Amino acid sequence: MSETTSNTDATAPPTCDYTFTETQDWFSGHKPSWLHYFRSVSSPTPRALEIGSWEGRSAVFTLTELCQPGSELVCIDHFDLMGTDAGQKRFRCLTHNLSLAAGTGKSFRIISEFSVPGLMRLLEEEMDAATPGFDWLYIDGSHEASDTFLDGELAWRLARKGAVMVFDDYGWGREPEDSVHHPKRGIDTFLTLHAGEYSLLSTEGQYSADKAKSGDLDAALGYGINVALVVDTVYAIGAAVAIRSAAKHTSKRITFYVLGYDLPGDVKAKLQLSVADCAHATMVFTDVPSAPSPEPGVPSGPLWAKVVRIASLPVERDGLRKLWDTDLEGKAIAAAPDVGFPAGVDKATSAPYFNAGVLLLNLTLVRGQVDDLVAAAKASASSKFLDQDALNAHFRGNWWAGTYARYQTPERATLDLAAMEDPGIVHFTGPLHPSMAEVLNPFVQPYGAKPWGYAGAPGHPYAEEWWGVCEETAWKGWRASEGYRAERERKREDAVREGARAFRARVGDDV
């Protein structure tokens, strides 16, 4: 179902300020270059067309800075086909914001459809118009290369002689540039097809301010799942298995953002092989130096990446699908209670306590809390569980709880463990190479550990399944290799040696 709205539909002018989501500003950096290119529009009363408007930041700027009395702005956006609360909210925001910006003598129109039917409707209407076409055309709809090309082709037929066309996200950083999920391929194809028919006003990098910040409904709208992993060489194999498993069990588009700490090129290549045969999956690497911390006073290294790298993650949010679609009920994050410490480690401030190994983030909410998160990290720099303590301190009372674990203990009496008999995601808690004290502790059996550590993950019901997925990665055959056997033996000897030293320090050297 489509809907068309214009400023003539309003019964009364709006009385409040613009309504924008602060953490969803992808446009403000464009303003200097847009003002420059507005001067290329010769019509005294320009008509403007925008494909993809979101809440209307660019549309408001166009209406106020380019359009004059007698001008018109037409916006095309699907608003999730009005099938989601978020889509309906964006439609209301856009209508409200444009009503404020239009003022006297300027008009706007909103077509709530996919770009192709919306553009086809305009093409039919413009055939009967006295002065058809548009002087300014901005294409910022789907990021799929094919969609971007098609939007460009249809918009081209609506462009007046001398019109300015702007394609957004040519240098988009969220997908590889050669991916079919990146607009660059579609834009390049359009430019090649129409070579000699236009003058190129801007090339990539000419204006640094012009660079973008970086059958179900979701599939129809082109939305995908974004998974961020913090990886160093020690955890590369664990990351490969997690990536492979997620890609295999997710049918919709999925993008993996690998925040790599000193990852060599050969390890990156091995990780990339985990999705080489998955057309719906792509991988983006971000190199992160191990030290110093990008924020003074915040501990550096992979452990703290969840805190200090939140601002660099994408805002948008079948195996993983169930978790991705979880309604967070207004909470900032979803997490699983830590089964070892369900009420936390501080008895004086006992409160529900989550494990920070796997988190589902509402980045729109979390991004507005970065300063407070950094403060929590500074305060927890020497706490027992470091980043996990910091995240729990900050999000106390503001997280949606799932449950996990298989074995009941008195401390876990408040957890619904039965709900996890058939889990969608398995997170192996515990150290990679456990100490002898952890292995021998009679009150924590079976002990927690990673499958690929020297001790393995004994008794864990999904350890063998983990190794099965490992055989589908670049680490195939590693479990049976002499190198892995030697490494396990070396780490076991290290643990025994350190355990003996700790024992002697406790009871004395004469035992």
359-381 tens-digit pLDDT: 887 777 777 777 788 888 888 87
315-355 tens-digit pLDDT: 444 445 556 666 677 787 788 777 667 666 666 666 778 88
Edge-to-edge strand ranges of the sheet holding 354-361? 354-361, 333-337, 399-401
Tell me what the pLDDT averaged over the chain comes to. 80
Say if 475 falls within a structural domain. no
Q: Are residues 284 and 304 in the same domain?
A: yes
Please give the Cα distance from 3 to 81 (Å, whole number). 9
Are the beta carbons of 309 and 330 closer than 8 angstroms?
no
Say if 130 falls within a structural domain. yes
Q: Which domain holds residue 273?
A: 224-425
Q: Are residues 228 and 244 in the same domain?
A: yes
What is the average per-residue pLDDT within 125-153?
94
Please give the Cα distance from 103 to 57 (Å, whole number). 16
Q: Are residues 379 and 440 in the same domain?
A: no
Top pLDDT among 136 and 204 is at 136
The reply to whether omega before 292 is within 30° of 0 (cis) is: yes
Top pLDDT among 342 and 499 is at 499
CATH code, domain with 66: 3.40.50.150
Token readout for 308 is 């200090």
Say if 473 falls within a structural domain. no
Q: Are residues 391 and 435 in the same domain?
A: no
Q: Are residues 419 and 433 in the same domain?
A: no
Are the beta carbons of 64 and 40 closer than 8 angstroms?
no
Top pLDDT among 359 and 303 is at 359
pTM: 0.57
Q: Which residue has the tokens 């110093």?
A: 292
> Among the three residues 182, 210, 238, which one is the final residue of a domain in this structure?
210
Which phi and psi angles does 94 have, rounded to 5°? -60, -45
230-283 tens-digit pLDDT: 888 888 999 999 999 988 888 777 888 888 888 899 999 999 999 888 878 888
98-114 tens-digit pLDDT: 999 987 789 999 999 99
- Confidence label for 309 from pLDDT (cuts 50, 70 and 90): low
386-438 tens-digit pLDDT: 888 888 888 887 776 555 445 445 555 555 555 556 667 788 888 889 888 88
Q: Are residues 431 and 415 in the same domain?
A: no
SS3 119: helix
Beta strands in 130-179 (DSSP E): 134-139, 159-167
Query: How many domains is the chain partitioned into structurally?
Result: 3
Residue 404 has a pLDDT of 47
Q: Are residues 421 and 437 in the same domain?
A: no
> By percentage, how much of the chain surpasses pLDDT 70?
77
Say if 467 falls within a structural domain. no
Distances (CA, A) of 183 to 49, 136, 281: 19, 20, 16
Residue 318 has a pLDDT of 43
Q: Are residues 251 and 110 in the same domain?
A: no
Say if 11 falls within a structural domain. yes
Are the beta carbons of 220 and 250 closer than 8 angstroms?
no
Top pLDDT among 228 and 61 is at 61
Q: Are residues 124 and 77 in the same domain?
A: yes
Q: Are residues 47 and 94 in the same domain?
A: yes
